[in-house]
Structure 1
């Protein structure tokens, strides 16, 4: 089983594993990431293996400085403006991959672009010490609920990795927002920890939503972020035996019939709801209910990202590769 070590004591053990081509679960401000040297193909392959992640789903490469980012990708003026405004932080930029970059092709899933992010905290210090970017998707089995605590990582991946760095509960609780500048326009590929309105204000232009060419970035598979239970959205009534993911002060009809209930935010606060989303889904999944029903959540601000994750959690689950 994986060892869980406090962040204050974990730097040297994490570095030793990464330098040896192993993978390590680390805290970031968004969710916990499963990190490996992005220039080492064997290490990147271990990420895919541990997660059961489909190889056509690209990974985010995490950097510690703009100088490191510029060795990997070509920055247009708008992307640079966004990096200067929001890095370090929960924003991922999809950029043209620079010729001769040391990033291993497994990270990009064969695309000619690279998804880059600059994290805060332990992850940034780790990358700076390593001197190389880290590929670090969420530290969970592919398609399942993203972890926001070290314990959630260990419960899921503890028999597949050696070390989980414990930095406490993640403050944002949602994955990063992913954007791409295309033909001078800013395209939102995945809503996340930075609301669309903040990006539009910084860019001085409206966002275009969705990808033009299928899966261009992580988190774009139709079915993703899913618990073991099925999920029903916009529920106005709870049936016997269901678990309830609530929002705000008012309850769905027959809420008392729920076998378990968690409220994302009693006050209807979107930041609180975002930070609680994955941990509350995990708690309800452990209740044994076959169905988790979700009360309606507004789509404004961070609600866009919350509803995106819930829609993917509720999507049909056929034999897609996300669930290996």
Structure 2
């Protein structure tokens, strides 16, 4: 019999299956992100971002919150892209704003959210959850970007990354590789280094996620998340450990009718900004103290704002236009 060789279900088998599922889902995006980062490093002119963004640092940070519409990447791919953009002259405040907003404020995620919540069926004013998700993500990302506007790279970035940024800035005036073939070779080498660096941390995060998804009873999670008083923080915690891709998370949370709209919004905004795998990926670029500070700030801001925010967007939706 062909089925005689199929092993019986086991706890270790469940962990392995979950691990490979998440790994194969996220790895292509990391590959895409690192390829983009290599191409940026080799082909993007050093002064391009300075010309594209406003000269004023505050205005540039506000504009960076919308860079995801130009460089649309998910949370698995954005870390290496931001690293290269900072080396190309993007201010740290702009880099952080883009890092946190890009996985949400990009065309693919906007369309997936509209589809999951069936908001394509009405007018733009009916897209309550999509508008709330985009606007809250923008406010949180830009707020944290403005918070570090006066910080130096050495205050936030890991020493090795800060040193590479300084070397890249110094080398910018001297010029990079010349000729298409030389630039393409440089891009592939850069992408390979970034992929190996980022994939190591991503794999650790995926392993922890798969252990949680298979070994913790899901009924316990639903019981906690269903409590009205802890719905918002528990949904953010659920988003943290599930580590879903921002292109698909709306399809997971939309059918959960027992949860409030505020808790769903918290899930949709917090998850793409911070989850298990992202913590390890952030640690490959930022100092640990900054990762901890940023994580607390994201959790507090979204936790405090999600309920009044969804109410405000709903109120605007129901307010007649004169």
Task: Identify the structure with the greater helix proportion.
Answer: 2
Question: Which TM-score band (shorter chain)?
Answer: under 0.3
Under a length normalisation based on structure 2, what TM-score does the superposition of the two structures give? 0.27
* Larger RCO of the pair (alpha carbons < 8 Å, separation 6+): 2
Task: Identify the structure with the greater strand proportion.
Answer: 1
Under a length normalisation based on structure 1, what TM-score does the superposition of the two structures give? 0.27
Larger Rg: 2
